[in-house]
Amino acid sequence: MRIVCVAGARPNFMKIKPVVDALDARGADTMLVHTGQHFDAAMSDVFFDELGLRPPDRHLGAGSGTHGEQTARVLVGVETLLAEEPADIVVVVGDVNSTVAASLAAAKAGCLVAHVEAGLRSRDWTMPEEVNRVVTDRLSDYLFSPSADAVENLRAEGYRDDQIHLVGNVMIDTLLANVERARRRPTLGALGVEEGAYGLITLHRPANVDDPAMLRTLTDVLGEIAKDLPLVFPVHPRTRARLAEMALAPGITLTDPMGYLDFIALEASAKVVLTDSGGVQEETSALGVACITLRENTERPVTVELGTNVVVGRDPQRIRDEARRAINDGPKPSQEIPGWDGHAGDRIADVLLRGGGPEGHVRPTDR
């Protein structure tokens, strides 16, 4: 049995690593494919180096473009690959364009499709990721969910129980495996900040950064927060050009996108994290660090219900108030999230290899 694992953009690399490792540890025949959606060294190579993710067996070189161009290049790339290297199961992770394109190619090639991070829903159809999530789940045979809310979403959409597997969170597998190593790095000193005495920012959602007026609104309020707390802002390539045209308050330190270990080191010791990232909402909850999400909704409600996340939207007053609360009072009370325990990759591999693989899996015929 051959299992092809696909990754293509920054957050995919942390998610695929525990799955590849768990499959390799069980002696499975695996192939790792990099779609090339992200390609800068700081958005791709650094994660292979720092996580010890083995080099991809194939690189599809898809690169950037419109949604149609990028999705189509991955679709053709994976279709060609599967024609040359037949696979039984194709594993896709997350919600990026590479995820939906690879799952479509795999389903048409007759492979079983396994979606890691199935069932997350923001219910915001203007988010490209929401379209990718819904379509990828529909194309998938194995639905691996990180949390009970995701399982509920899948059941409500009519997926059968034998397709749905509540396995926990692979992003947190990677976080727990690396956080102590990250804490030993000289990251804070190099940036001139001290433990618990700075904030960390990430912004890359099109709704926040593509419109200069919205980005200006957000950077203005961040500038006000920076009067009380120095802020470190590693800038995503999508955000770079727009931000370069704007003058920022002196308390905000901009950096290039960070490697995983430096970023985790900063995240773990921050007083507060202000973000629109999906993965960062999860990591801050697992680390017990206050997180303020600058979006109107989240597909990860468990980070709000049990974790440290507060979704505030883009209203400057709410952002200021919540930042002040986090600075004065620390993170809101939180609990451990069930299954976010470092073993999601193992559970996924066990399901995929159960009963000798796809022969043991009943392909859904009633969907």
Active site residues: 204
Does residue number 234 form part of the binding site for ligand UDP (CB under 6 A)? yes
Give the side-chain half-sphere CA count within 13 A for 68: 0
Which 56-75 residues touch ligand UD1, going by CB under 6 A?
64, 70
Q: Is the CB of residue 326 less than 8 Å from the CB of residue 271?
A: yes
The yes or no reply on residue 340 touching ligand UDP (CB under 6 A) is: no
Nearest 10 degrees: Cα torsion 239, 232, 50, 195: -160
Annotate each residue in 265-304 with x if it binds ligand UD1 (CB under 6 A) or - if it does not, as one string.
Answer: ----------------------------------------
Q: Which two tokens stand for residue 245?
A: 């045209």
**43 forms part of the interface with ligand UD1 (CB under 6 A):** yes
Cβ nearer to ligand UDP, comparing 163 with 281:
281
| Minimum distance of ligand UD1 from residue 346's CB (angstroms) | 25
For residues 285 and 289, what is the distance between their CA atoms, to the nearest angstrom? 6
Which residue number, 195 or 210, has a Cβ lying nearer to ligand UD1? 210
* CB-based contacts of 152, cutoff 8 Å, min separation 6: 119
Instruction: Give 93's strand partners.
Output: 116
15 touches 99 (CB < 8 A)? no
Task: Name the β-bridge partners of 2.
Answer: 29
Q: Compare residues 76 and 248 and give the one whose CB is closer to ligand UDP.
A: 248
Binding mask 3-22 for ligand UDP (x = CB under 6 A): -------xx--x--------
Residue 167 makes CB contacts below 8 A (sequence gap 6+) with 116, 144, 145, 146, 339, 344, 347, 348, 351
Computed over its alpha carbons, how large is the radius of gyration of the chain? 20
Identity at 153, one-letter amino acid code: N
Which segment (64-72, 73-81, 257-265, 313-321) binds ligand UDP by CB under 6 A?
A: 257-265
Our CB check for ligand UDP shows the closer of 101 and 258 to be: 258
User: Which of these ranges, 7-15, 17-25, 160-168, 296-304, lies near ligand UD1 under the rule CB under 6 A?
Assistant: 7-15
Residue type, 278: G
Nearer to ligand UDP by C-beta: 77 or 279?
279
| Of the residues 97, 178, 202, 284, which one makes contact with ligand UDP according to CB under 6 A | 202
| Residues linked to residue 234 through DSSP beta bridges, in sequence order | 255
- CA torsion sign for 142, 147, 148, 149 is negative
Q: What is the contact surface with ligand UDP in residues (CB under 6 A)?
A: 10-11, 14, 202, 234, 257-258, 260, 263-264, 277-280, 283
Q: What is the contact surface with ligand UD1 in residues (CB under 6 A)?
A: 9-11, 37-40, 43, 64, 70, 95-97, 128-129, 204, 236-238
